[in-house]
Structure 1
Amino acid sequence: MAVQERPSVVAGPERRAQLSLFARNFFKHPRMLGSIIPSSSFLIRRLLEPVDWERARVIVEYGPGVGTITHEILSRLHPDATLVVIEMNEDFVDYLNRSMTDPRLEVIAGSAENIETELERLGLPAADYVVAGLPFSTMPADCRERILQQSQKALAPEGSMLIYQFSPKVSSDLHQTFSRVESTFEPINIPPARVYFCHK
C-alpha cells in the first residue's frame, strides 16, 4: 500500500524556537550553515521530488539543523523505513533528540565522512538516498572529496544523493564522483539554490 504524502507542519512557539536556534547558530558558525533561515517549502519539495517513498527503506540526511527537511522526510517515509540524520552541531543534536520522537529516526552526533561506519553500527543496509545541504563550497577540498566519496560508496546500487547548494563550486566534484548528475534550480528560497540529483 502506498504511503500518502501529508504535510508536516511545525507552527507557533515551536516554529519560533526553531528559527531562533537556527539564527543563533548561523551567527556562530556561518560557514557551516550557509543561510540565516531554514530551507523553504519550495526547495524541500524540489529536493525530495525524485524519492521513491514506497521503495526507500534507508535514507540518510546530513546536517539536519533544526529538522526542517527531516520533518518532511518523516511525513512521507514508509512505516518500515529508517531515517538516519548526521549532525555535528551539538545544539542541533540536542534539539532533534528533544523535539522528535519518531521511532523511525536515528540521530547521530558526528561527521558525514563516517556514513558507512554509522550504517554498519546501526545494522542497516546501504542507503537508498542521501540528502545533503552541507555547504560544500566552504569546506576544505579534501574534506569535501571524502564526504562525497564515502556517500557514493554507502549508496545502494540504484541509490542517489540529493544535494542543494548556494554555490556551483561543488559541481565538478559531483561529476567526478557519480556516474550521472542532473541539476535544477529553485529560485524561491533565501538564497536561491541549485539542486543536484547524483546517481551512483
Structure 2
Amino acid sequence: MTGTDLAQGTAAPKAKRGLAAKLGPWGVFFRGFVEHPVMVGSIIPSSRFTIEKMLGPVDWDRCRLFVEYGPGVGTFCQPVLDRLRPDGALIVIDTNPLYIDYLKRTIADPRFTAVLGSAADVEKIVHENGHDGADYVLSGLPFSTLPDGVGPAIVDGTYDILREGGAFLVYQFSAKARDFMARRFKRISSGFEALNVLPCRLFWGWKDAEPVSAAQAEEAPAKVAAVG
C-alpha cells in the first residue's frame, strides 16, 4: 500500500470536513479518533508534560526543519513553533483530511506547512517543499497497528531524510515502537511520562555519524538494536 493510497483511503466528503472545522480542537480530535482509531491511536491529545519532556532534547538553535507525523489538531505544533528559530520550518504530515483542514484554518504561521499524505513518503514531501533534509522528526503514530510494511517504511524514510546529528522523536503507549526504530537507529534514548492519558513511553533515536543502510538493517537487525 502506497502513501497515496493511504491518503486517498481516508478522504471524507467536503460537507463533513466543513462541519468538523467548526468544532473545537477536542471535538475535531475525538471525531478523528472515532473515524480512524487505528491511525490516531489515542482518544485525547498528549499532555503538556509529555510535550515538554518530548521536546526537551531538541537543539533549537540548529533546527532548520522540524517534521511531525500525525499532528492531529496541533497539540505539538504551537509548542514547536514557539521554540523554532525565525528562519526555521515545520512540516506536518497526516493521512486524515479532517486534521489537515483544521490545521490550515487555525495556524497562520508562515513557517508552518500541513501536508495530506503518508509519513512513509516523508523524503518526497520534504524535497517537494524545498528542503534537503530534516533535523528532527516527531511521531505519535501507533506503529504496532499500522498496515503491514508501513511502519518499517516510515522508519527507513525518516532515517534517510534526517541530517547527521538529528533525531527521530517517538511517543507511544507501547514499547513496541522501539523495535521498529532499532532497525535503523543504533542509539536510542528512552523516557516515560506518567502524567498523560494513557501514561506514555518516549524514545529519541539519534542519527550519528556511522550510517545504517536499509539493506544492513534487513540483513542483521540484531546488530542495530540500541541500548537506551
TM value normalised by structure 2: 0.79
Map Cα deviations across residues 72-121 of structure 1 (whole Å, 9 max, x no partner): 10111100000011111000010011111100001111011111111111
> Which residue in 2 is equivalent to 1:30?
37
Aligned counterparts of 2:148 and 2:178: Cα–Cα separation in 1? 13
Alignment root-mean-square deviation, CA = 1.3
Which letter maps to 2:53? R
- What is the number of equivalent residue pairs in this alignment? 186
5 Å-filtered alignment, 1:104-123, equals: 104-123=111-130
Q: How far did residue 154 of structure 1 move?
A: 0.4
5 Å-filtered alignment, 1:4-43, equals: 17-43=24-50
Q: How far did residue 140 of structure 1 move?
A: 2.9
5 Å-filtered alignment, 1:26-175, equals: 26-175=33-182
Which letter maps to 2:175? P
Aligned counterparts of 1:170 and 1:54: Cα–Cα separation in 2? 28
Hey, which bits of structure 1, 4+ residues long, moved more than 2 A?
Answer: none
Aligned counterparts of 2:181 and 2:100: Cα–Cα separation in 1? 28
Choose which of 173, 177, 190 in structure 2 pairs with 1:183: 190
Unaligned residue ranges in structure 1 (runs of 5+): 1-13
Which letter maps to 1:63? G
Aligned counterparts of 1:87 and 1:140: Cα–Cα separation in 2? 15
Aligned counterparts of 1:79 and 1:31: Cα–Cα separation in 2? 35
Aligned counterparts of 1:98 and 1:170: Cα–Cα separation in 2? 31
Deviates more, 1:145-154 or 1:30-39: 30-39
> Which residue in 2 is equivalent to 1:194?
201
> Which residue in 2 is equivalent to 1:3?
none
